[in-house]
């Protein structure tokens, strides 16, 4: 099993920066994304490997007809292609930057290409859950598989999970909504726990909200993986920009997730935490004092007493022991009462 997958299975949220097609076919831009997400603190960078002739036809319709330069969806996939050598360069660059290199395959040819550059785990897009040829190729590698569930029915997930488990291949299932951008009412954060209980596996969120909030919420709920689309600018070109976060936002989300991970890992009992805060309790707590200055010989009544900071004088639990006592000396209201102040 890949060590990083094992850590994500049992440890804090593992953050995947999804580049997808944000590079728009530019190898230089793809490399720039790797540098940027590494600087932002991601655990992994993920692309999508499309090989037009192996996955599509000229009959494929546009999901969103965003491109003026590509006559067909097939033409767009062709423009997105990198050579095997270029994919190898991207993978090496990512690893040099301390990142895991991942890419979702969309054909058996893409699986073969990515196997050759030794990807440590597979991310299967929800539209490929019903692609038996691709799944067979992925299962044959024995590498861990991350299943996205955006367009999948539970029965379809049941089938692929059962087969993955039968082959003793580690896996995780991601909650995902295929709405771009995804509004809060469709984040489906509660589904992560349903998936965890149903499949007894690590779970994640594949986020398309275009905000940092879904990822932070997922981490606070115990997600093992958080995947989010990134872009260099909200004015950038491409169909996923509205569902992406900027690099500055991504860095802030990663920082927040790391803090949440630390907080969730702290299991200090409440009483022990209170003991650690004892010095502060003294500073912010209260002790008995006088409301007004009183002379020696005055008998203390309830109307004379009030509680003031700090808590290193006579504690509030000793009120009855003070009432009716006579002062042995003049006493200022600006000083805490002490036992030696009484006869």
Question: E strand or H helix at 148, and its extent?
Answer: strand 145-148
Q: What's the whole-number mean pLDDT along residues 218-243?
A: 92
Q: Tokens at residue 272, please?
A: 């022990």
Q: What is the pLDDT of residue 80?
A: 87
**Residue 182 falls inside a structural domain:** yes
**Residue 212 falls inside a structural domain:** yes
Question: E strand or H helix at 113, and its extent?
Answer: helix 108-116
Query: Residues 205, 291: one domain?
Result: no
Q: What is the CATH number of the domain that holds 32?
A: 3.20.20.70
Query: Residues 236, 332: one domain?
Result: no
Query: Residues 286, 173: one domain?
Result: no
Task: Provide the number of structural domains found in the chain.
Answer: 2
CA dist 282 → 187, 271, 274, 313, 332 (Å)? 45, 16, 12, 10, 21
* pLDDT, tens digit, 9 for 90 and up, residues 195-209: 999 999 999 999 999
Mean pLDDT of the chain: 91
Q: What is the pLDDT of residue 1?
A: 44
- Whole-prediction pTM: 0.81
Q: Tokens at residue 326, please?
A: 């006579």
What's the CA angle centered on 156, arms 150 and 161, to 5 degrees? 95
Domain that holds residue 294: 277-341
Query: Residues 214, 71: one domain?
Result: yes
Q: What is the pLDDT of residue 70?
A: 78
Query: Residues 259, 317: one domain?
Result: no
Contact between 125 and 104 (Cβ < 8 Å): yes
Query: Residues 24, 90: one domain?
Result: yes
Query: Residues 228, 172: one domain?
Result: yes
Distance CA 157, CA 162 (A): 8
Query: Residues 177, 310: one domain?
Result: no
Distance CA 207, CA 226 (A): 7
Query: Residues 84, 144: one domain?
Result: yes
Q: What is the CATH number of the domain that holds 312?
A: 3.90.1210.10
**Residue 270 falls inside a structural domain:** no
The yes-or-no verdict on residue 273 having pLDDT over 60 is: no
Query: Residues 239, 316: one domain?
Result: no
**Residue 118 falls inside a structural domain:** yes
Query: Residues 286, 244: one domain?
Result: no
The yes-or-no verdict on residue 86 having pLDDT over 50 is: yes
Query: Residues 132, 45: one domain?
Result: yes
**Residue 272 falls inside a structural domain:** no
**Residue 271 falls inside a structural domain:** no
Q: What's the whole-number mean pLDDT along residues 169-175?
A: 96
**Residue 228 falls inside a structural domain:** yes
**Residue 132 falls inside a structural domain:** yes
């Amino acid at each position: 099993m890949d060590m990083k997958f094992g850590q994500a299975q049992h440890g804090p949220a593992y953050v995947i920066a999804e580049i997808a097609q944000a590079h728009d076919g530019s190898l230089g831009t793809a490399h720039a994304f790797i540098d940027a997400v590494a600087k932002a603190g991601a655990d992994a960078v993920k692309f999508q490997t499309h090989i037009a002739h192996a996955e599509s036809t000229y009959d494929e319709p546009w999901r969103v007809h965003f491109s003026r330069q590509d006559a067909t969806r097939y033409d767009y996939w062709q423009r997105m292609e990198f050579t095997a050598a270029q994919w190898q360069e991207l993978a090496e660059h990512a690893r040099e930057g301390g990142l895991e290199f991942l890419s979702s395959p969309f054909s058996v040819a893409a699986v073969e290409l990515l196997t050759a550059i030794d990807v440590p785990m597979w991310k299967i897009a929800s539209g490929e859950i019903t692609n038996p040829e691709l799944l067979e190729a992925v299962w044959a590698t024995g590498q861990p598989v991350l299943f996205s569930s955006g367009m999948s029915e539970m029965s379809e997930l049941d089938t692929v999970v059962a087969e993955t488990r039968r082959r003793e291949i580690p896996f995780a299932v991601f909650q995902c909504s295929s709405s771009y951008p995804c509004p809060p009412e469709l984040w489906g954060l509660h589904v992560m726990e349903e998936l965890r209980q149903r499949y007894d596996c690590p779970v994640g969120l594949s986020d398309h909200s275009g905000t940092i909030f879904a990822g932070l919420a997922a981490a606070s709920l115990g997600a093992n993986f958080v995947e989010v689309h990134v872009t260099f600018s909200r004015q950038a070109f491409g169909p996923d920009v509205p569902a992406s976060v900027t690099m500055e936002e991504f860095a802030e989300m990663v920082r927040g997730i790391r803090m949440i991970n630390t907080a969730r890992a702290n299991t200090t009992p409440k009483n022990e935490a209170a003991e650690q805060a004892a010095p502060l309790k003294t500073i912010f707590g209260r002790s008995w004092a006088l409301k007004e200055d009183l002379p020696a010989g005055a008998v203390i009544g309830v109307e004379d007493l009030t509680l003031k900071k700090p808590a290193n004088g006579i504690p509030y639990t000793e009120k009855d022991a003070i009432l009716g006592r006579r002062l042995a000396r003049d006493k200022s209201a600006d000083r805490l009462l002490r036992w030696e102040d009484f006869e």
